[in-house]
Amino acid sequence: MSIPILLYHSIADSVDPRFGPWALPLRTFAEHMQMLHDEGYSALTVTQLAQAIAGRGALPARPVVITFDDGFADFLAAVPVLQRFGFAATLYVTTAFVGGTSRFLARRGEGERPMLTWPQLAELEASSIELGAHGHQHVALDVLPRAVAWREIICSKHTLEQRLGRPVQSLAYPYGYYDRRVRRLAQLAGYSSACAARCAMSGLGDDRFALARITVEAGTTAAGLRRRLTGEQRTAAQPGGRLRAMAWRLVRRIAGPMVQY
């Protein structure tokens, strides 16, 4: 069974053009959710999917997982739409910036955007929204020294747990970057799943710590999303992908991550 895990970032009608590819207008997002509802999809959280992969839960006939990265304040605009269709979702939070602005975007020259606050996250946690960790300072974990990567992974988890008063079970690797070492650290930290961003469908045979997601970018219509989910429009895997990933990791490691404690 092919299971789509959708990756959204921002739901906003107007954003800094430099951030434009990652922001979806609210009306378009509502059309996406209407399409999923009309096509008979049932929305799960990432943890519910991970439990099914581990053999501890059943899946509906047509499952979909809806995820959001970063924790932007405009996620609140998506909540009524999700609730209208009875859809669960998983929101991955970058803990260092809660209640402030997305300074990690400024590092990339994409401006800064308001982030959710702790009271808002507590309200979301009381609804059907699963909250997961997205690292502490939104840096690529696979180019960090082991001790620093561990702090990023564990600090994000512990901060959320202390603030929310419940276990946090899922991690999304910032930028989707991970390697075998980072995957192992996520397991040691006590997560039960971790998401990457490989622009592919997931399945019951997948590694729970390398779940593939389909990135939904600006300009993706409901019809276009439907074609991607049904296989009518799917990007084929390119040969040499692992070698390219290793080469790109080397370039990023030489450039150096930006982490401050």
Q: Tell me how far the alpha carbon of residue 158 is from its chain's centroid.
A: 18
Q: Which domains does the chain have, with CATH numbers?
A: 2-255 (3.20.20.370)
Q: Tell me how far the alpha carbon of residue 260 is from its chain's centroid.
A: 23
Band of pLDDT at residue 240, cut at 50, 70 and 90: very low
* DSSP strand pairing (202-203 vs 2-3): antiparallel
Overall average pLDDT of the 89-103 stretch: 97
Overall average pLDDT of the 49-66 stretch: 95
- The model carries a pTM of 0.89
pLDDT at 257: 52
Radius of gyration of the chain (CA): 17
Q: Which residue has the higher pLDDT, 20 or 40?
A: 40
**pLDDT tens-digit series, residues 35-44:** 999 999 999 9
pLDDT at 237: 39
Largest alpha-carbon pair distance within the chain?
48
pLDDT at 232: 59
Percent of the chain scoring above 90 in pLDDT = 76
